[in-house]
Amino acid sequence: MRNSTLGKLRAYWLGCVVCMGGFLFGYDSGILGGVLTLSSFVKDFQYSKAHQTRVNSLAVGLQQAGAFLACLIIWPIADYLGRKKTLMLSSAIFCIGAIIETINTHSMAAFYVGRVVAGIGLGSASVVVPMFSSEMAPKELRGRIGSFFQLFYTFGIFTSYWVDYAVLKRLPATAQQWQIPIALQLVPAGLLGIGMFTLKESTRWLTKKGHHDEAWESLVWIRADESQATVDEMEEIRMGVEIEARETEGLRPAELLERSNITRLATAAAVFTAQQATGATAFAYFGPQYFKLLVNGSASKNLLLTAIFGAIKVAACLFFVLFLSDRIGRRKVLIAGAAFMAACQITTAAVVKAKPAGREGGEVTSSGIATVALIYMFVIAYNLSWGPLPWPYVSEIFPTRIREIGIATGVASQWLFNFVFSLTTPYMISNLGWGTFLLWGLFDAVIAVGSWAFLRETRGLSLEEISHGDFGVLVGGKAGDERVE
């Protein structure tokens, strides 16, 4: 019998350590929107209100551009160095960028450079974290542990919102007011790098490189067990790696164009593009600006509403991880989540168009309360579906042979559209107003239909079963649904 308690604890520990990358992603996503509203930041970097939209756009968007570039080059590095060393390197690069951001250079150009460097570290980690997690987690916990990334991401956002609110309320408008929130990014980045020393390297990566003794030690450690079940799992992993190596010796670009592989790559790109197109990430980056559009409140009130928004994200994602992650199919949740988000966003657009917010800093109207409630329901739906599920889903659908490239392709798509929407959102808020919510709602409706038509179920299948199955059978997800039900 397996030592299930110790094995689960080690699997959860691995998930917590690697998903500090998710916390870092979330903290960085949430912190800047509030920092950009601080008068101390505007004063130190000396830009006018006329340039505020451009600064908001570039300060967030350039980091996503750096992350996108990292996704294109990180997979051969992860294949050469392994998962642990690559995450350590990612942590170090991010820390360099964060230090550049924190120094009060009075230069937006220098701040932008820091954002790009930090983005390279962040983007690299975002590729390797789900790869490492999926390769090490037991299949019965893979959905839950894979969802840790989103849970830590939402907790990072939650933390950043309350840090922004605290420095606005408690600190004078000096450089320290904006430097402290930015500098605190170094804490999760450092914990990610140092935490790697407590983990074993990926069993599948070690097997692929021919380090079979180390691979066995890694599997025994993470399962806390040397029983026949672990022996059988090790043999299954070895067979899977050997079969893939025999079938296609030497990775060639043409291999990626094979029907099964191109279908997987397209699915990964589509899933992460859809995640960004829900509008939830734009809310995470520009929460204060969105709530100003809804209620036109004071800076303090907008930050408070944003902080509550972050708390709701954490509660919803925690509920998903604890009670839903491995109990219901991925496909059904993604369809229902997108449909509900579409209803919330389109209704918000209708309310804002019919009854716009009152004067700036005034009392919040009943229509304003209604729109805030709709956005809170929207973020609950997101964190029960499209927030956590794309990470484990995409990490599951690739064979070991192209897993690095596949996950990198999916996450690169995530960062590309993260960049596109973070760059355009300030202009959307400024120019479209209520139409911004309508646009997100229409995107969500398209995502719901597309998920119903094309996604396949993966819950309950081992990575080897998914790898060697006919992933080309996609319509209605029937190939996967029939096997798990």
Query: Is 26 within 8 Å of 160 (Cβ atoms)?
Result: yes
Give the residue, 35 or 145, on which the prediction is more confident.
35
Q: What is the mean predicted confidence (pLDDT) over 401-424?
A: 82
Torsion angle, alpha carbons of 9, 12, 13, 15, to 10: 160
Q: Residue 326: what pLDDT?
A: 66
Q: Average pLDDT of the chain?
A: 85
pLDDT on residue 467? 63
Diameter of the chain measured on Cα atoms: 70
The yes-or-no verdict on residue 400 having pLDDT over 70 is no
**Residue 478: its pLDDT value, please?**
42
Is 226 a member of any domain? no
Question: With contact defined as beta carbons under 8 Å apart, do 17 and 238 qualify?
Answer: no
CATH of the domain at 281: 1.20.1250.20
1 pLDDT above the threshold of 50: no
Residue 247 lies in a domain: no
Rounded (10°) angle between helices 83-102 and 186-195? 160
The answer to the question of residue 266 being in a domain is yes
Asked if the model's pLDDT at residue 258 lies above 90, the reply is: no
Give the residue with greater pLDDT, 5 vs 103: 103
Q: How far apart are CA 318 and CA 332, in angstroms?
A: 19
Indicate if the pLDDT at residue 477 is higher than 50. no
Number of domains into which the chain is organized: 1
Per residue in 200-254, pLDDT (tens digit) is 999 999 998 999 999 999 999 999 888 888 999 999 999 878 876 775 566 667 7
Which range, of 398-412, 413-427, 442-456, averages the lowest pLDDT? 398-412
Question: How much of the chain, in percent, has pLDDT values that exceed 90?
Answer: 42
Residue 215 lies in a domain: no
Q: What does the alpha-carbon distance between residue 428 and residue 441 come to, in Å, rounded to a whole number?
A: 14
106 Rama class: left (phi>0) / alpha (psi -120 to 50) / beta: left
Q: What is the mean pLDDT of residues 346-363?
A: 83
Please report the pLDDT score of residue 460 as a whole number: 62
Query: Are the beta carbons of 121 and 93 closer than 8 angstroms?
Result: yes
- Cα(435)–Cα(57) distance, integer angstroms: 19
Q: Residue 109 and residue 167: Cα distance in Å, rounded?
A: 24
What angle separates helix 299-319 from helix 20-35, to the nearest 10 degrees? 160
Are the C-beta atoms of residues 287 and 306 closer than 8 Å to each other?
Answer: yes
**270 is a domain residue:** yes
In 3-state terms, what secondary structure has residue 77? helix
pLDDT of 476 > 50? The answer is no
Q: Where do we find the tokens 């050997």?
A: 242
Q: If we measure between CA atoms, which residue out of 24, 138, 19, 125 comes closest to residue 78?
A: 125
The confidence score (pLDDT) of residue 13 equals: 94
Give the residue from 277, 294, 393, 293 showing the smallest Cα distance to 338: 277
Comparing 260 with 389, the larger pLDDT belongs to 389
For helices 148-170 and 108-136, give the axis angle rounded to 10 degrees. Answer: 150
Query: In the structure, what pLDDT confidence band is assigned to residue 2 with cuts at 50, 70 and 90?
Result: low
| pLDDT tens digits for range 84-124 | 999 999 999 999 999 999 999 999 999 999 999 999 999 89
Residue 473 has pLDDT above 50, yes or no: no
pLDDT per residue as tens digits for the range 25-67 = 889 888 888 898 889 999 999 888 778 888 988 988 888 888 8
Count other Cβ atoms within 10 Å, centred on residue 210: 10
- Mean predicted confidence (pLDDT) in 183-191: 95
Q: What is the mean pLDDT of residues 156-183?
A: 92
- Domain extent, residue 402, equals 4-199+259-484
Q: Tell me, yes or no, whether 375 lies in a domain.
A: yes
* Domain annotation covers residue 222: no
- Residue of 213, 43, 275, 18 lying closest to 130 (CA atoms): 18
211 located within any domain: no
Secondary structure element (H or E) that encloses residue 94, with its range: helix 83-102
Task: Fill in the DSSP letter of residue 200.
Answer: P
Whether 417 and 277 have beta carbons less than 8 Å apart is answered as yes
* Residue 149 pLDDT level (bands cut at 50, 70, 90): confident
Pull the structure tokens for residue 354.
């019919």
299-347 pLDDT per residue, tens: 788 888 988 998 998 899 888 878 876 677 788 899 999 999 999 999 9
The pTM (predicted TM-score) of the whole model is: 0.76
Cα dihedral angle (282, 286, 288, 291), rounded to 10 degrees?
-30
Q: Which of 44-53, 327-336, 368-377, 469-478 has the highest mean pLDDT?
A: 368-377
| pLDDT attached to residue 484 | 34
The answer to whether residue 482 scores a pLDDT higher than 80 is no
> pLDDT above 70 covers what percent of the chain?
90
